[in-house]
């Protein structure tokens, strides 16, 4: 599997002190404590960014972000792995660099969690207390939801309408193995003790450009961060921020397979749900994962049946094609997970977040003889997502061998320090490694370098599949200056 993938995680930040009520200021404080930055004064290059283009063929009103130089440096930290730590709205946010497969995404997400946790530790140490808390989740329990976004590069020759029609039922049914679990309900939805997805309550329409109000199941942002004529970037906002590595692997891996099938004109299921917005909430509220979902042909289906239809299409697609080890791993894990969900969802307590969290809370409730409405239960729901390794309940499960890991500690540390080898992120990472003092700015599609005499040179990176280790490692061999790099680029 070689497909450009990446994720963005917004973190919830809380101050225990009444003296720090502003989440924007608190988010800026947090990222200002980011350690080991190779180019601490580097800007983020907003030149080619425009989030107001709609994939349905029209722009909407809005002004692209263009912060001042000083505020830009406060908002953005360019990381050694060619990812980005920044403040978006009222939240600290981490973007992985461009990855080439779902296992890389898992490692680079985990690296981001470590970076944020270290920022938090340094911030609290500077204040002499544990004033600030940070959570990798999607809801504050008070009606506010914050995002987790997946990104998939796809050929522009695939019509967006086709992409949306295929993905609607897939996204509606996907939470059964990648929901993060949630106590209670929000956004004016029907009361429930516990549900599968943190985000499901907050989706209100099928397609739209918005991500903060009137949230759609399919986001229509048309900002490819690549050659506009060749690529589109599917910006997925419907997923939960998972703690479980298996859930993340399945979430990203299965969706990447669907992207491959769309691009290669594979045969995909044609499933038209009568009411997708209602259906995603029904899926979230049914812990048996057997909720009946009406379809436009007058029949009914289930989340498992939808996922099995996509899985069978994937098996058919790869039957006559070479299958990479990672693709095979996704297919095998996908099938075994669906089998277990059909037999007994709660057998997945070692793999799937919503099950692991439910069983942890249920065990506590049985011991304490309390109900789902007990404030201690709501606190456990939140504490599951605490980024502090010594405090987060997910990490407690992990330390005690009660949840499965896919990564090794050394993989995560490598992902923290180095960029992925098979995408353009490698080039950006090498610039940071070899020419850190000359890096003036950076974005997904550019590197800005000081070349002397106050001149800034922009190196465009519009093809996400170029700039890899194989293509560019010789460029940086014994490199000593920007001019030397530019000269080698001209000759290559």
Contact, 419 vs 409, CB < 8 A?
A: no
Coarse DSSP helix, strand, coil percentages of the chain, rounded to the nearest 5 percent = 40, 15, 40
Residue 319 CA, chain-centre distance (Å), reads 30
Q: How far apart are CA 263 and CA 362, in angstroms?
A: 43
Characterize the bridge pairing of strands 216-219 and 456-460: unpaired
Contact, 151 vs 8, CB < 8 A?
A: yes
Contact, 333 vs 249, CB < 8 A?
A: yes
* 232 membership: H or E segment, kind and range: strand 231-236
Contact, 282 vs 195, CB < 8 A?
A: no
* 24 membership: H or E segment, kind and range: helix 23-31
Of 417, 32, 406, the closest CA to residue 249 belongs to 406
Q: How far apart are CA 262 and CA 154, in angstroms?
A: 9
End-to-end CA distance of the chain: 27
Does the active-site annotation cover 88? yes
Q: How far apart are CA 253 and CA 327, in angstroms?
A: 8
Alpha helices in 384-481 (DSSP H): 393-399, 409-417, 425-434, 469-472
Of 372, 317, 446, the closest CA to residue 193 belongs to 372
The catalytic position among 22, 45, 88, 201 is: 88
Catalytic residues: 88
């Amino acid at each position: 599997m070689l497909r450009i993938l990446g994720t963005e995680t917004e973190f919830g930040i809380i101050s225990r002190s009444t003296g720090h009520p502003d989440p924007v200021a608190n988010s800026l404080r947090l990222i200002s404590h980011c350690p080991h930055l190779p180019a601490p004064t580097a800007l983020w290059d907003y030149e080619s960014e425009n989030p107001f283009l709609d994939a349905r063929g029209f722009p909407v009103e809005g002004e692209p972000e263009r912060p001042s130089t000083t505020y830009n440096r406060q908002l953005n930290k360019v990381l050694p792995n060619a990812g980005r730590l920044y403040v978006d709205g009222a939240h600290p946010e981490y973007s992985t660099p461009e990855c080439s497969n779902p296992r890389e995404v898992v490692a680079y997400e985990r690296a981001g969690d470590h970076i944020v946790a270290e920022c938090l530790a340094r911030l609290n140490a500077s204040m002499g207390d544990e004033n600030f808390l940070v959570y990798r989740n999607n809801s504050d329990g008070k009606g506010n939801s914050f995002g987790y976004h997946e990104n998939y590069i796809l050929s522009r020759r695939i019509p967006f309408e086709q992409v949306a029609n295929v993905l609607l039922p897939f996204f509606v049914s996907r939470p059964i193995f990648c929901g993060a679990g949630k106590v209670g309900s929000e956004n004016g939805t029907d009361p429930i003790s516990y549900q599968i997805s943190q985000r499901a309550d907050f989706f209100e329409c099928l397609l739209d450009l918005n991500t903060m109000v009137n949230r759609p199941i399919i986001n229509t942002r048309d900002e490819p961060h690549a050659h506009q004529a060749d690529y589109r970037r599917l910006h997925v906002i419907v997923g939960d921020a998972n703690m479980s590595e298996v859930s993340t692997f399945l979430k990203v891996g299965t969706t990447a397979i669907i992207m491959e099938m769309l691009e290669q004109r594979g045969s995909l299921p044609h499933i038209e749900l009568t009411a997708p917005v209602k259906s995603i909430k029904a899926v979230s509220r049914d812990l048996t994962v057997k909720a009946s979902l009406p379809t436009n042909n007058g029949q009914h289906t289930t989340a498992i049946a939808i996922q099995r239809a996509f899985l069978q299409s994937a098996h058919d697609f790869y039957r006559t094609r070479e299958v990479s080890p990672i693709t095979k791993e996704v297919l095998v894990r996908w099938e075994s997970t669906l089998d277990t969900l059909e037999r007994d969802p709660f057998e997945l307590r070692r793999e799937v977040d919503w099950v692991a969290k439910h069983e942890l809370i249920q065990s506590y409730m049985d011991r304490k003889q309390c109900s789902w409405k007990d404030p201690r239960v709501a606190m456990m729901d939140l504490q599951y997502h605490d980024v502090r390794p010594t405090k987060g309940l997910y990490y407690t499960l992990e330390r005690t061998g009660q949840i499965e890991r896919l990564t090794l500690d050394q993989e995560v540390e490598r992902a923290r320090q180095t960029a992925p080898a098979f995408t353009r992120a490698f080039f950006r990472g090498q610039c940071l490694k070899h020419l850190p003092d000359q890096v003036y700015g950076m974005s997904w599609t550019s590197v800005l370098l000081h070349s002397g005499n106050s001149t800034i040179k922009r190196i465009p990176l519009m093809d996400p599949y170029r700039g890899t280790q194989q293509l560019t490692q010789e460029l940086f061999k014994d490199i000593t200056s920007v001019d030397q790099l530019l000269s080698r680029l001209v000759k290559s």
